[in-house]
A and B are shown apart, each in its own frame.
Chain A
Amino acid sequence: MIRRCLIMLLATLAPQMAACDSFIILQSTTSTQNSGLYDSILPRFSAETGIEVRVVAVGSGQALRNASDCNGEVVITHDPAAEAEFVNAGFASRRHDLMRNDFVLIGPGDDPGDAQSAGDIISAMRHLADGKFPFVSRGDNSGTHRRELQLWNLAGLNPAGSWYRETGTGMGATLNIAVGMNTYALTDRATWLRFGNRQHHRILFEGGSELANQYSIMAVDPQRCPGINAEAADIFLRWMLSQSGQAAIASFTLGDVILFEPNSSGN
């Protein structure tokens, strides 16, 4: 028994020692993974460069936190304020615009809170708060959560009460709750369009500069984190910002809708 256990243990640990070829860890927001973007573009990058990209998909807050622990080479997030802090703290030399889409307000098909008729997202959210129409929030310090809080703030509201629920989970789990509890929620458009459990929920408000959703990419500074694979990280960052990377992002569509519109300033 003991001998068998030891053999099994060695067999388990051995492959790790051997598999130390070129790979990087990408700390990422969840929407880019849940929507299927990485499955679509990363194989192309790996085929071109031989570098494997291992994606850890968590909320933007946790992605930046993990990267500042040096547990990753590259971050893709959508929280400009938190990204600026990351750069200011010296974890990355700069942030690069990568791509964009927008946030949308989703809710029950019959729209009891009448968000549709609002002139802008701020008044739509005021409608919901005034009528205490149930709303679920990510509550997890993610890019989407932080944007939602900004919107309440712009509306001069501090949402609280039994109509406002914080799920403290990812976008997908929150959407499942929104559908299950028949409530409103703020989500990024890509996750919503690719979400498989929409049932009778639909987009009730979209558009306006307040709902712009900018994704950025940053390489962790090797001076701050000496152990990382900075060379491969740099190749990946450059590829994502290059024409081939941007074209790969643009070719990820649903029907004829581009889910993430590439907008790097070139590199």
Chain B
Amino acid sequence: MSSLSEAFLTSVQLIISADPDLYEIIFLSMRITLSAVAIACLIGFPLGAALAVLRFPGRGTLIVLVNALMGLPPVVVGLTVYLLLSATGPFGPLRLLYTPAAMIAAQTILVTPIVVALTRQTIAELDREYDETLRAMHASRIDTIGTLLWDARFQLMTASLAGLGRALAEVGAVMIVGGNINHATRVMTTSIALETAKGELSMALALGIILVSLTIAINASAFLLNSLLEQRVYA
């Protein structure tokens, strides 16, 4: 119990002291995670909507596959990206291993299936609701996907937040492809792992408290923004 309260105290001290190393780590975490989620949304929204609207052979298999990929083990993704980006691997000449770009790539692979699967479900529900109207308007498949995505934009926030949560909390992949290099690729989760390894448990927990608070703050602002915008649209 004492180490828990010690951790709370340390986390408050860390935030108040405006420790530049801490802010560097938080900033890098946010940069990597937001980039990965943005790319995942760019790919995942249209792909998920297409899976919901289009009918083609193998669609069921694809849906099962995407749903299963939501559970991709981060350490396997990390290892795969490591082998791809490794100097002796196919993308070696890009020299991306142990850079934030490699970490973004790994997290994008982790997050995209989540965005695709949740988008597909949201759009499929909306599609049932809109089906007759869209059919009466003789909307093309592309138009249908566009309309549905636009009208589902508030619900799709949940898909991107789910992805964001996964990326912010993940340590296995970024540890392998980033290397937890101080001032280069050290993020919140890898710092927590390092402090734990040093036996500095209250420092590790303090960083954990900051990370959880950050996640809550992001979700709260997304929720507020969403409801503000929704009010403007539907009022």
Residue ranges of A at the interface with B (Cβ–Cβ < 8 Å): 1-2, 4-5, 8-9, 12-13, 15-16, 25, 30, 33-34, 39, 54-57, 69-71, 170-173, 175-176, 194-198, 225, 227-228
Interface residues of B in 15-65 (CB under 8 A from A): 31-32, 34-35, 38-39, 41-42
1/0 contact trace for B83-100 toward A, CB 8 Å? Answer: 000111100110111111
- Given the complex of chains A and B, what is the CA–CA distance between A176 and B193 in angstroms? 12
- Is B172 close to A, CB under 8 A? no
- Given the complex of chains A and B, what is the CA–CA distance between A171 and B197 in angstroms? 7
- Given the complex of chains A and B, what is the CA–CA distance between A196 and B200 in angstroms? 5
- Given the complex of chains A and B, what is the CA–CA distance between A195 and B42 in angstroms? 45
- Count of chain B residues with Cβ under 8 Å from any Cβ of A? 35
- Is B169 close to A, CB under 8 A? no
Chain B residues with CB below 8 A from A56, complex form: 98, 179-181
Are B35 and A9 in contact, with the CB atoms below 8 A?
A: yes
Chain B residues with CB below 8 A from A4, complex form: 38
CB distance from A33 to the nearest CB of B (A): 8
**What 8 pairs across the A-B complex have the smallest Cβ distances?**
A172-B197, A197-B199, A70-B87, A56-B179, A196-B199, A195-B199, A5-B38, A12-B35
Interface residues of B in 174-216 (CB under 8 A from A): 179-182, 184, 194, 196-201, 203
- Is B104 close to A, CB under 8 A? yes
Are B198 and A195 in contact, with the CB atoms below 8 A?
A: yes
Chain A residues with CB below 8 A from B88, complex form: 69-70
Interface residues of B in 107-136 (CB under 8 A from A): none
- Given the complex of chains A and B, what is the CA–CA distance between A198 and B200 in angstroms? 10
Are B42 and A2 in contact, with the CB atoms below 8 A?
A: yes
- Given the complex of chains A and B, what is the CA–CA distance between A196 and B41 in angstroms? 42
Task: For the A-B complex with A12-B32, A25-B181, A196-B203 known, give 15 more contacts whose Cβ atoms are closer than 8 Å.
Answer: A5-B38, A5-B39, A5-B41, A9-B35, A12-B100, A16-B99, A54-B98, A69-B89, A70-B86, A70-B87, A71-B86, A71-B98, A173-B197, A195-B198, A227-B92
Name which residue of chain B comes closest to A227, CB basis.
B87
Name which residue of chain B comes closest to A172, CB basis.
B197
Residue picked from A16, A25, A56, most chain B C-beta under 10 Å: A56
Chain A residues with CB below 8 A from B162, complex form: none
Of the candidates B31, B98, B182, B196, the one whose C-beta lies within 8 Å of that of A12 is: B31
Residue picked from B39, B184, B194, B199, most chain A C-beta under 10 Å: B199
Of the candidates A2, A13, A69, A228, the one whose C-beta lies within 8 Å of that of B101 is: A13
Are B199 and A54 in contact, with the CB atoms below 8 A?
A: no
- Given the complex of chains A and B, what is the CA–CA distance between A173 and B88 in angstroms? 31
Asked if A69 meets B87 with Cβ closer than 8 Å, knowing A12-B35, A196-B201, A227-B93, the reply is: yes
Name which residue of chain A comes closest to B184, CB basis.
A54
Chain B residues with CB below 8 A from A12, complex form: 31-32, 35, 100-101, 104
- Given the complex of chains A and B, what is the CA–CA distance between A49 and B100 in angstroms? 25
CB distance from A130 to the nearest CB of B (A): 30
- Given the complex of chains A and B, what is the CA–CA distance between A171 and B39 in angstroms? 36
- Given the complex of chains A and B, what is the CA–CA distance between A172 and B96 in angstroms? 29
- Given the complex of chains A and B, what is the CA–CA distance between A9 and B35 in angstroms? 6
Of the candidates A30, A69, A195, the one whose C-beta lies within 8 Å of that of B86 is: A69
Provide a sorted-by-A list of 12 A–B residue pairs whose CB atoms are within 8 angstroms: A8-B35, A12-B35, A16-B99, A25-B181, A54-B98, A56-B179, A69-B86, A71-B97, A172-B199, A196-B203, A197-B200, A225-B87
